[in-house]
Chain A
Amino acid sequence: MSRAIPTTARNSYRHISQLLSKPAWSVRALLPSEPSSTPTITPKQLHHLLRLSALPQPSSPAAEASMIATLESQLHFVRAIQQVDTTGVEPLRSIRDETAAGSEDATISVDSLKDALENEETWGHCQRPRRRRDAPVDTAGIEDWDVLTTASQKVGRYFVVKSAKGAGTPES
């Protein structure tokens, strides 16, 4: 049933005003009402998180307690999302063209790689592919900048890190 819009000015304010007469919810209700009795973050967890984030450990027990309290209140604030029924709902990772047409635009095809495919030859008895290495490569605007200009420490053309062995180990 459609509601006809009143023609008088006073009435339009009234109908709109009426719509908004009752607040729908309270945002402050997201805040924890009191310090949590069952803490979800232990000091050990905090230390682990700080290490993962390469941030310093708390400077005092008071600072530690404060960090934990802050984190717990933040988690309380955001935990509200767990009440939402998201069965069958795909996570939205980014705002991007997800249409079939957009997917087609993004598809990498033989045509997209035309130049690179022309830059290879087949060779030998087994007709194997081989990338040609003689073609000139344009790196203007890409490699021609002063790479070391913002470094606080450097040796010749190298950046420098000083660290005891084992504090950060190679990955791959």
Chain B
Amino acid sequence: MLTRRRLQALRLRHAQRSIPSRYQRRQINHFISKEADPVPPIPAQRTPFTLAVKDNITTKFSPATTTCASPFLADYNSPFEATIVQQLRDLGAVVTGKTNLDEFGMGSHSVHSAHGAVSQEKDGYSAGGSSGGSAVAVANGEVDLALGTDTGGSVRLPAAYCGVVGYKPSYGMLSRFGVVPYANSLDTVGLIAKGVGRIREVVVRRGLWEVEDGRDPTSLGRKARRRIAQGREGYGGEDVELEGVRLGLPVEYNIEELEGGVRDAWVKAAGRLEERGAKVVPVSLPTTRHALSAYYVIAPAEASSNLAKYDGVRYGRRSEGESDAAEGGVLYAASRGQGFGEEVKRRILLGSYTLSSEAMDNYFLKAQAVRRLVRRDFDRVFRLENPLQDEQETFDLSEMSEEIPMENKLGPAEVDFLLCPTAPTLAPKLEDVMGGQGVLDAYMNDVFAVPASLAGLPAVSVPMLVEGEERMAGLQLIGQYWDDARLLGVAEAISEVLGGKR
């Protein structure tokens, strides 16, 4: 049996393998820094709620540090605060602390951290990553709401493992100003809570979805928001009925590695929703097979670029000694060698390779082309159009798998949302994750989460029961771009059907 002591030792040993010993913190699990006297919200009339902030989102003064779980930024005080944090404070948030994560957001189990791995309170299961700390803080009831970042599933996956709700908005909806970037074209700020209602309140009813941030060049413009919202429903905050909602089951999400219990839960959930009047149809997203590979070209490439700024000169830990080029005469290599964990270094190396002149065409540019095909797959199956381009996608029937039944002679069904698992398995044991899993094993967890990230689509994971298991699995709902309001509404309805908390 896994004792607490053994778990701690394992955690430390793993941390030792990746990070120099002086950066280990034995006690800190899901929180890296806690605010001793949390600042009450300034707008007194708002109902205050507690908020945990993932430690790759900057806060100023309360708490003062933003470490990204990296040795590099161990004592880093950001001179400014992220827009999303300010916005939530204005809505009544009381920030109680910064949560633990995989360093700079790179990982699927929140184990690659300078502060040691995060684990769920119960029995040493992986909290998922990279927003594991935030998911645990919510699951433990310590905070009402937690901020995370979702680049390739980093909010949805930990939510699924921890049995809570994790929401990734449409790309460009919530400001990234102050969010330390991992991969700019994929990073989104995400929200974790016990129930969908809390998230819907903040995003839809309180209007966070509407606000453009002029300081974030990827924040969707005001005019575009207005334009696109005209083709969308639900932003008035009205409840959504399941009756008549068309849910697509993407057959390519049925992989060999999908745990039987999770598959069954998926089927059961779909069946129960049908009973309530939803219509369940199969759809095909052929490029799903290549989405994961494309993601692991694009994300590390952008990461290697974003991490080039860490050299210790203007901020961050610096190597000791007379010269910044002491390590083999290479400028900054010493600081960067000491400042980054192993997983981060692995991804930087991979990214440098795929961007190098010899590999650029066949890896990076190729992956970006595959990315467009991934998005095209989604556009073909959704009833709603992709508002980001003028040309609309039609299906080439010859490309379609024969197993997909046709709706009519024009093609297969078009759906409102996709329904699928969030992850292929339940939360694994931390012991298994840290005890010699290959580097690539963790990548495979992201297989269902990554496609929505590549396409910038809104997605939410709600917990569903699995027969014979105490742990819950995540059920994922994916919508067309900017259909967040309806997505959250349907998610709320689904949660109710599945017996989750509203």
Contacts and interface: CB of A to CB of B under 8 A. Distances in A.
The 10 A-B pairs at the shortest CB distance, nearest first, are namely A91-B368, A95-B456, A150-B315, A167-B325, A86-B369, A56-B337, A92-B372, A168-B331, A26-B256, A95-B171
Interface in A119-155: 145-146, 149-153
B397 interface: no
Interface string A157-172: 0011111100110000
A95 B313 contact: no
Contacts of B408: 2
Given A25-B289, A67-B349, A151-B315, 6 more contacts: A1-B405, A41-B353, A78-B294, A78-B367, A105-B224, A150-B79
Contacts of B443: 77
Contacts, number: 262
Interface in A15-34: 16-17, 19-20, 22-28, 30-31
A79 interface: yes
B366 to A, nearest CB: 5
Interface string B314-351: 11111000111101111111101100100001101110
Contacts of A94: 184-185, 218
A85 B372 CA distance: 12
B116 interface: no
Nearest to B340: A55
Interface stretch (B17-25, B139-147, B261-269): B261-269
Interface stretch (B4-12, B387-395, B428-436): B387-395
A49 B353 contact: yes
A36 interface: no
Contacts of A99: 387-390
A9 B311 CA distance: 61
B370 interface: yes
Interface string A99-117: 1111001100000000000
A13 B268 contact: yes
A106 B217 CA distance: 11
Interface in B364-416: 365-373, 375, 387-390, 403, 405-408
Interface in B462-489: 481
Contact of A27 (B224, B257, B270, B365): B257
B43 interface: no
Interface residues of B, number: 108
23 contacts: A1-B406, A12-B275, A13-B271, A19-B282, A23-B256, A27-B447, A49-B352, A54-B308, A55-B348, A70-B439, A73-B440, A78-B296, A81-B290, A84-B369, A84-B373, A91-B368, A92-B454, A93-B368, A96-B172, A98-B388, A105-B223, A152-B317, A167-B323
Interface of B: 76-77, 79-80, 171-172, 184-185, 218, 220-221, 223-224, 227, 249, 251-258, 263, 266-268, 270-271, 274-275, 279-280, 282, 287, 289-290, 292-294, 296-297, 304, 308, 311-318, 322-325, 327-334, 336-337, 340, 345-346, 348-350, 352-354, 356, 362-363, 365-373, 375, 387-390, 403, 405-408, 424, 438-440, 443-444, 447, 454-456, 481
B324 A16 contact: no
A52 interface: yes
A152 B332 contact: no
Nearest to B304: A53
Contacts of A54: 308, 311, 330-333, 336
Contacts of B256: 23, 25-28
A20 B263 contact: yes
Contacts of A118: none
B296 A77 contact: yes
Contacts of B388: 95-99, 102
Interface of A: 1-3, 5, 9, 12-13, 16-17, 19-20, 22-28, 30-31, 41, 49-57, 67, 70-71, 73-75, 77-84, 86, 89-102, 105-106, 145-146, 149-153, 159-164, 167-168
